[in-house]
Structure 1
Amino acid sequence: MKRKKNGIYLSIIGICLFLILGCSQKPKNKTNELIVDDHPRSQLLFDFDWRFHRGDVAGGEEVNLDDSQWRLLNLPHDWSIEDLPGTDSPLDSNAIGGIDIGYFVGGTGWYRKKFTIPSELNGKRFNINFEGVYMNADIWLNGEYIGNHPYGYTSFWYDISENIIFGEENIVAVKVRNEGKNSRWYSGSGIYRHVWLSVTEPLYIAPWGTYITTPEVSNPLAQVDVKTKVVNDSDKSMEVTLVTIIINQKGEETAKVETKLQIEAASSLEISQNLAVRSPELWSPESPNLYTAVTEIIDSDSQVLDKVETTFGIRTIEFTVEEGFLLNGKPTLLKGGCMHHGNGPLGSAAYDRAGERRVELMKASGFNSIRCAHNPPSPAFLDACDRLGILVIDEAFDMWRKPKWPQDYNLYFDQWWQKDIESMVLRDRNHPSIIMWSTGNEIPERGEPEGVKTSQMLAEYVRDLDPTRLVTSAVNGLRPDKDPYFATLDIAGYNYSFGGDHGKQNIFEIDHNRLPNRIMYCSESYPLKAFGAWMDVIDYPYVIGDFVWTGFDYLGEASIGWLGYPHEGSFYPWNHAFCGDIDICGFKRPQSYYRNVLWNASQQVSIFVKPPKSSFKTNPDKKDWSKWEWQDVVAEWNWDGYENKPLEVEVYCAFETVELFLNGESLGKKETNRGTQWIAKWEVPYKPGILKAIAYEGTKEADSRELVTAEEPNNIHLSADRAKIKADGQDLSYITVDLLDSNDRRHPKAENLIRFEIEGPGSIIAVASSNPMSVESYQQPKRKAYKGRCLVIVKSTQESGNIIIKASSTGLQSARLIITSEEVN
């Protein structure tokens, strides 16, 4: 591979080497990993070696602009998570977005990338694909304006074939404007997802041009229908053969079809092909079996003109009032969580591994479904849901024409809604994980005739693009005046059905009696109302699931999960929402353990203690307390100064009875069942030692948990989620940092400052703790522990070798950990 100081020289052989040595390929793109120099399609990851400037620059798009002093970086990139210039924190108490975006700062930023394409590639087609830019992206190539894309969450692409200067240096410039108040949560700023450059022959398969459905599925046979859009940008008519082969997970060919076609110059065709897969392996959360459709265009000389691989799954989905949601004919309750797009300490930067880890942690916590709130996610996130087995509601918008903030999407809706719906549905419709499309969340005009008309327009367009899935929307203010709005949808999403502002505890039953054909689900629920929300799902077959707000915590909407907003008049320095079952570091919070009990998930018994003093300041007016909270409880038995004083202990238990012991002495047995909401409570005079809960099914011991008083911490322990990562310049290792005592117990109150060092082919790209009020830098190599732990995230380079992480703190034994970065094959 030839490298220049200001760019990458792409020869035909160079394309191959760039893919193998210089790119992080998505797991599903097996063809791209094996590409050879004469391959007809090259999918180049265009993430490396961009120049960036935070702030506006006059003439930032001009070819002759001197950008040598701009920062050199790789994508994905989010500048809002970075320290503000001249400070050691990303937060500003006077940030325009305020509490909604967690006091992070947007503004304007510029990106520039230089590259050279040799003259011998003249005549090929070049598309540049941006998976996501927040927001208002303006694109130039060689000083010529290419286009604008306002919405920060949809993917978009441009054919730049006519703008490239072959054999000379090209410059792509991107101006990003995250201005004013435009979001109700942390959005991030910048080119925060991947950028791709595709190189094809003039006759090719269109971007998002493959559409796969499975209209008939049975044990002996599955019918697979494949629609392919073929584009001929050449000046001559061509006779070609379209070949589609279906490959199973073992790499075996299971079906093949060939179709001959004549395609005129400067035209396109959509071709339908039908295949049969015998003894199909069905996709489900329990068995996420995937297939790959390999589609080729072959000319009359048997030359392959284009080749595209599309991952899909074979499964059936059905919704009925009588049986609820059926996946492959089996009734399935949606154990769901809402999730924003952000990746916690990384901001919005959409590294593939970051999304994959969030899906892993959600599934490990008992979730089988995710509602993407309130926008389409990254492609890699959906790939992970397909691969790991998580059901998805893919959502388009948080508002339409009526604003929630002055500079939000309402400014662009009329001009852009159709393009953005197309981007979501055409890009994502082959993912087996997706079971519903959502057109919006808490739309302000949902109760008005104009809103009903708009909802009908959106729903019909979604159905035109993909008639195989149903359309939903998440609605609050659940009163009969919303009936016309719900009538435009297939499935009714109820935000806060239990404990919501409608004032009815049994709204599902009431609405079922009014409208017996309506299928419903709780599209958002309060953590504190987890019991009631889930009992609705258990009791009513027409209520297909519950999606807690939220499954994963996020930045912005700061402090909504605490006991009422602070009463001093300022929310600062709160910056986490603090309402997730899993916090921004990926650590489970108390409500997640309670949900384990409700769902019969992994851990069936858990012990928590109510602190004698509130964990944070509270609003004395309880009527203003947040419903997104959970009880102020912690998994700790370290209460110096409270010896012999009573502490409230609660045990979450999925079994018939539970017995609590303090230092071996029984404090009594209590029943746990639906009547007790599977919670047992004691008042326990504090004594250091061991607090243990033993659960019984009948007279037989079924499970147990304990809290043990920790001694003062004396050492640091490092543990990585993965000891081996790919040397692709983008893979991540998440390292948990625990402060332990001499018995290797984490001290739950330790807040020592930890400093980090790194050696080898890697870098520290984020540090974090679960402290929702910390104003510390996410990028400097140090962090104060919170509850005895913190997190450090390491990114690979494109070189293989051992990455050594060291952690130290005054008075503690230091720690050292080795991560192996392996060459990408």
Structure 2
Amino acid sequence: MTCDFNDGWLFQKEGQPGESVDLPHDAMITEVRNASCRNGVNTGFFPGGKYVYTKYWKVNPEWLEKSVRVHFEGVYQNCHVFLNEVEVGSHKYGYTPFDIDLTGKLQAGENCLRLMVDNSLEPNCRWYSGAGIYRPVQLIVEEKQHIERIRVKTLAINPAVISVDVIGDSLEAVTVSICDRSHILYEGEPGKITLQQVQLWSDETPKLYTCIAKCKTDEKRLDFGIRKLEWSAEKGLLVNEKEILLRGGCIHHDHGVLGACEFWDAEERRIRILKDAGFNAIRMAHHPASQILLSICDRLGMYVMNETFDGWYVPKTYHDYARYFDECWKDDVRSMVESAENHPSVIMYSIGNEVSETATSKGIKVCRKIQDYVHGLDDTRPVTAGINVLLNVYAHMGIGVYRDKGEYQPKPLPPGKSYHDKKSGSAFFNAMAQKLGPLMFFMSKGRHGDKACAPAGDVLDIIGLNYASSRYDEDAKKYPERMMVGSETMVADLPYNWSRVKKYPQLVGDFVWSAWDYLGEACIGDWTYHSYKGLPLLAGQGMIDITGKALASMYYMQIVWGLRKKPFIAVSPLNHADETPTKGAWQFTNAIDSWSWEGYEGVKTTVEVYAAGESVRLFLNDRLIGCRRLKKFKSSFSLVYQPGVLRAEALDTNGNVIAQHFLGTAQKETILWAEAEKKELRANGQDLCYVPIEFTDKKHCLKPYIEKRVDIAVEGCVSLAGFGSALCKTNEVFDRNHHMAYRGRCLAVLRAKNEQGKAKVSISAEGVEPVVIRLEVK
């Protein structure tokens, strides 16, 4: 029996009164942002803290003789677990699941489970980590002799042959059934099983089957896909004997206005939007993915590079995972592999990100040790690691390497400016990238870059190259047996990168940084306008912003991939025409798809057109603005704004029109547009309803120059889980009932309560008619 264990917890910050919360719960998102906190831009200036979670519940007397455990999907971080005031377990890493065994320790009647969570030692992460019990929790009650887990592997596909292992101590009379919904395909003993007329799993056909394992005392179910994975430098990455080119993007784990809280609906919405945008693969950066994410990728058809760590034994921030890497890495790697091995979506394991340790002989030994350990657990998937070649070059020279100022002390750093943490590792590289920009592309070439990454290339099944696509041609010739993946790249380099992915089978794909924007690493990629006041909050690096809106860079990628045939028109924001932004290295544009700028008539702007073809013509109200050759799928025009219609025509080498695209001005009248993405929710405390809110005309044409306060009031059986915008620099937070729209847009997320009934959501702003949305919670 598996029970939801998420409701009715008492949460308490250190030194503050307690409050009732339902899990998942992010303790960091409600902390007061502080410009002087040690986390700084890493977390968007959210500080850490110490927290206590307490749950009282009554135990069925029959459970005292059973196996009982609590399964935590993720607790950030350094948590100690107490049952009736006696410590029963602990866990350090904030991103791997763990179980707390309560067998034989429960008492009849009421019991108390308490978690002490310590995220006070900062900085300990390079991005927004969240804090507390931010992923779901389950209570699992079983007979003492039970099935621990099922493992399914695909052995062949023509015909389909799978192996089924049922794992547990002293199991008797074990049988398995393979089902397609209610249709039984096989019944019998576990082991090697041949299945007839089944559909194979891939990103295009994400077909799942169910394995039901039974023994005398237990029954377990597992959804799985039949998917054969092969890889070689000669043929590339093969899924079901067909070469796959990975149109990839990196994502962090937070969900914007929800903080780090992991909900099924939040993850399903994100993966669905990413897939609709053209991605067929994601890289989980830089830690293991949740079970929710992997299950959704199985169902929707999204390939996953699952990653273990941001680093190994060399710190990147003072209190990070490196301090207990030697103690914990094996358990955390095993946890990642065991939680991923039955998911057909997982096609690659990454054992580290920008691990400059690979520039040393010790680091290469560690690399081999971890890879061998992964292979011992699961030999059906290749192992990679994100190698930042330039970072390794610098590490060879002793530059950008973290050095402690004395012996490490696991206690808070001194306040004020008495301790200055010099940038090192990935943070050092990020700072260099901001200064050097496009030069970064070339600096990984040559013998120094080769020497810096060759040892890792000799060890890894597939070497991941971060910002080192300039090595592709050179390494494809010099190392014809080496497999590569662009594990982290910039969108501006995609034309070059994708042409090489198509050219070299040994180069299996490209993962842009980043597919979806995220909290922390604040303003590192954004084009920051100084008229926006406040602390940096979001990275500003996403092809899709935190509200789920695809940006111009995303459409550019679609054109380069060949998925979008029409041109795309993007306009530099006219409401900031008199400002010079601070430009981030990761975004190559701040232009947006709007020709609605009331009040900015006569203001000069730049119009960018992305297209496939030889050249492009731009018209305004049927007047030719100009004709430009396309360079790397892009051309730019300078013109003065006046209302009307922009038309872009993509031309072939003979001057024939291939395709065209229009961008028109909104009508005068402004309305507040808001629509719930679902009308019904389940009364389970977990269902979410997303409500995008925009200032538009009656035809839903966005007016991005309107940036005013929006208020929201919620009544009935839902609560406001988060409310905010995609603005990267602001002092606003996401747990208020009001927020400023950014580029004409903001987003509210509603959370179902545990009781049935009606809900009313009222949305208002000055100068427009309010909107009322009604929901039903069943």
Give TM-score scaled by structure 2 length: 0.88
Identify the range of structure 1 (462-471 vs 759-768) with the bigger mean alpha-carbon deviation. 759-768
Query: Does residue 575 in structure 1 map to residue 537 in structure 2?
Result: yes
- Cα drift, residue 585 of structure 1: 1.1
Match of 2:193 in 1: 275
Native 8 Å contact 2:356 2:387 kept in 1: no
Native 8 Å contact 1:108 1:176 kept in 2: yes
- Cα drift, residue 817 of structure 1: 1.8
* Structure 2 residue matching 1:189: 3-state secondary structure: coil
Match of 1:791 in 2: 747
Native 8 Å contact 2:63 2:141 kept in 1: no
CA distance in 1, matches of 2:378, 2:278: 30
- Cα drift, residue 484 of structure 1: 1.7
Cα offsets for 1:531-570 (capped at 9, x unmatched): 222222122222110000100100100111135x8999x9
Q: Provide the aligned length of Structure 1 versus Structure 2.
A: 717
Query: Does residue 54 in structure 1 map to residue 16 in structure 2?
Result: no
Match of 1:558 in 2: 522
Residue 489 (structure 1) aligned to one of 460, 465, 468:
460
Match of 1:284 in 2: 202
CA distance in 2, matches of 1:159, 1:615: 61
Equivalent positions of 1:243-642 (< 5 A) are: 243-248=175-180, 250-258=181-189, 273-298=191-216, 305-477=217-389, 479=449, 480-498=451-469, 505=470, 507-563=471-527, 573-602=535-564, 604-611=566-573, 626-639=584-597
Instruction: Report the AA paired with residue 112 of structure 2.
Output: I
Unaligned runs of 5+ in 2: 391-448
Change in 2 beyond 3 A, CA 1:703/1:758? farther
Match of 2:431 in 1: none
Native 8 Å contact 1:56 1:109 kept in 2: no
Query: Does residue 227 in structure 1 map to residue 165 in structure 2?
Result: yes
Change in 2 beyond 3 A, CA 1:641/1:120? closer
Query: Does residue 776 in structure 1 map to residue 694 in structure 2?
Result: no
Instruction: Report the AA paired with residue 818 of structure 1.
Output: R
- Cα drift, residue 723 of structure 1: 2.6
Instruction: Report the AA paired with residue 76 of structure 1.
Output: P
* Structure 2 residue matching 1:472: 3-state secondary structure: strand
CA distance in 1, matches of 2:340, 2:703: 45
Residue 111 (structure 2) aligned to one of 170, 176, 179:
170
- Cα drift, residue 443 of structure 1: 1.1
CA distance in 2, matches of 1:106, 1:372: 23
Match of 2:423 in 1: none
- Cα drift, residue 726 of structure 1: 2.3
Cα offsets for 1:708-743 (capped at 9, x unmatched): 233556321112222333222111111110112355
CA RMSD of aligned residues (A): 2.3
Equivalent positions of 1:96-115 (< 5 A) are: 96-115=38-57
- Cα drift, residue 336 of structure 1: 0.1
Native 8 Å contact 1:93 1:572 kept in 2: no
- Cα drift, residue 700 of structure 1: 7.6
- Cα drift, residue 571 of structure 1: 10
Query: Does residue 188 in structure 1 map to residue 130 in structure 2?
Result: yes
Instruction: Report the AA paired with residue 359 of structure 2.
Output: G
Instruction: Report the AA paired with residue 156 of structure 1.
Output: F
Change in 2 beyond 3 A, CA 1:617/1:542? farther
* Structure 2 residue matching 1:720: 3-state secondary structure: coil
Residue 69 (structure 2) aligned to one of 123, 127, 144:
127
CA distance in 2, matches of 1:677, 1:792: 37
User: What's the % identity of the aligned pairs?
Assistant: 34
CA distance in 2, matches of 1:820, 1:654: 46
Change in 2 beyond 3 A, CA 1:607/1:103? same
* Structure 2 residue matching 1:281: 3-state secondary structure: coil
Match of 1:687 in 2: 642
Match of 1:18 in 2: none
Residue 703 (structure 2) aligned to one of 736, 747, 752:
747
Match of 1:78 in 2: 26
CA distance in 1, matches of 2:309, 2:602: 54
CA distance in 1, matches of 2:344, 2:599: 55
CA distance in 1, matches of 2:700, 2:488: 39
Change in 2 beyond 3 A, CA 1:702/1:721? farther
Equivalent positions of 1:714-733 (< 5 A) are: 714-733=670-689
CA distance in 2, matches of 1:108, 1:291: 43
CA distance in 1, matches of 2:550, 2:577: 17
Match of 1:807 in 2: 763
* Structure 2 residue matching 1:336: 3-state secondary structure: strand
- Cα drift, residue 320 of structure 1: 2.0
Native 8 Å contact 1:655 1:696 kept in 2: yes
Match of 2:432 in 1: none
- Cα drift, residue 636 of structure 1: 2.7
Change in 2 beyond 3 A, CA 1:526/1:571? farther
Native 8 Å contact 2:71 2:138 kept in 1: yes
CA distance in 1, matches of 2:547, 2:265: 14
CA distance in 2, matches of 1:445, 1:609: 43
- Cα drift, residue 112 of structure 1: 0.2
Residue 647 (structure 1) aligned to one of 598, 605, 608:
605
CA distance in 2, matches of 1:802, 1:71: 25
Instruction: Report the AA paired with residue 387 of structure 2.
Output: V
- Cα drift, residue 442 of structure 1: 0.7
CA distance in 2, matches of 1:118, 1:562: 54
CA distance in 2, matches of 1:571, 1:98: 16
Change in 2 beyond 3 A, CA 1:688/1:542? same
Cα offsets for 1:575-624 (capped at 9, x unmatched): 1000110111111111001011011225732101234686797678xxxx
Instruction: Report the AA paired with residue 49 of structure 1.
Output: G
Instruction: Report the AA paired with residue 73 of structure 1.
Output: V
Instruction: Report the AA paired with residue 441 of structure 1.
Output: N
* Structure 1 residue matching 2:218: 3-state secondary structure: strand
Residue 147 (structure 1) aligned to one of 54, 70, 89:
89
Cα offsets for 1:783-810 (capped at 9, x unmatched): 1111111100011122333322211112
- Cα drift, residue 445 of structure 1: 1.1
- Cα drift, residue 671 of structure 1: 5.2
Change in 2 beyond 3 A, CA 1:197/1:288? same
Native 8 Å contact 2:13 2:50 kept in 1: yes
Unaligned runs of 5+ in 1: 1-41, 58-68, 85-89, 233-238, 259-271, 299-304, 499-504
Query: Does residue 116 in structure 1 map to residue 34 in structure 2?
Result: no
Native 8 Å contact 2:210 2:221 kept in 1: yes
Cα offsets for 1:228-282 (capped at 9, x unmatched): 21125xxxxxx7210111112x421111223xxxxxxxxxxxxx61211112200
Change in 2 beyond 3 A, CA 1:613/1:769? closer
Instruction: Report the AA paired with residue 517 of structure 1.
Output: E
- Cα drift, residue 81 of structure 1: 1.0
Query: Does residue 665 in structure 1 map to residue 623 in structure 2?
Result: yes
CA distance in 2, matches of 1:294, 1:105: 46
